[in-house]
Amino acid sequence: MAATKAVETTEFTVISRRIKGWTPSVILDVGANVGQSALGFIKAYPQAMVHCFEPFPASYRKLLANTRGHDSIMAHQIGLGAKPALLQMSDSAISTQNRVLSDRDPETGIEVAIHQGAAVLKRLGLEHVSYLKIDTEGHDLEVLQGFAPSLGCIDFIQVEAGMNRYNTTHVPYQRLADFMNDHGFLLFYIFEQILEFKKAGRPVLRRANPVFINARLVDLEGIS
């Protein structure tokens, strides 16, 4: 899961400027790694409850250590996906690039438990989510699919998208956008635009973090 700045408030700053009175109360951090984003969320909004999901054992242990003393951060050692399963995940210590492995991947990994997002919301008794952040190194669409029955209760969703076709590590932006549009979300803003850095860099956009807004928060009447 790609690292996020220790204090990542840019997204919420932009949202609060556009939607007066919006304040996050429940935040889901899927692919929490060692708690970088969660600690930033809580620093910006100490009244919010943050649920962190991190299946990789070493990262989860570090997540618990880093968030100890923060009662408003809850850590869950599970992964999220389209349906319950046991999947192989790469084994690279606490790397932010640990990912779910495909059947074609020769790399060996460890087995992790995958749960469906909608079922997890029900189990936790969450009827409303202010912000869902997904950063799962190419597994983002499967995570979204697992939340499909409950997407209506979520205000904003952040994903990590591949922005050019050659990037096969991340889910192509268009696939994510089509899914979000089909489920009642509109593109809000594109954050963290990263140019290609491999082979000393290339002048193309490699990945970005698009954020989508639930259409129920948008009045488009009379706009064409």
Domains of the chain plus CATH, in order, are: 10-217 (3.40.50.150)
pLDDT at 4 over 50: no
Q: Which amino acid is at 82?
A: A
pLDDT value, residue 89: 67
At 142 the three-state DSSP class reads helix
Average of per-residue pLDDT values in the chain:
89
Give the residue ranges of DSSP H helices in the chain.
10-18, 36-44, 57-67, 117-124, 140-147, 173-182
Average pLDDT over residues 54-78: 94
pLDDT in tens, 133-190: 999 989 999 999 999 999 999 999 999 999 999 999 999 999 999 999 999 999 999 9
> Span 66-70, mean pLDDT?
95
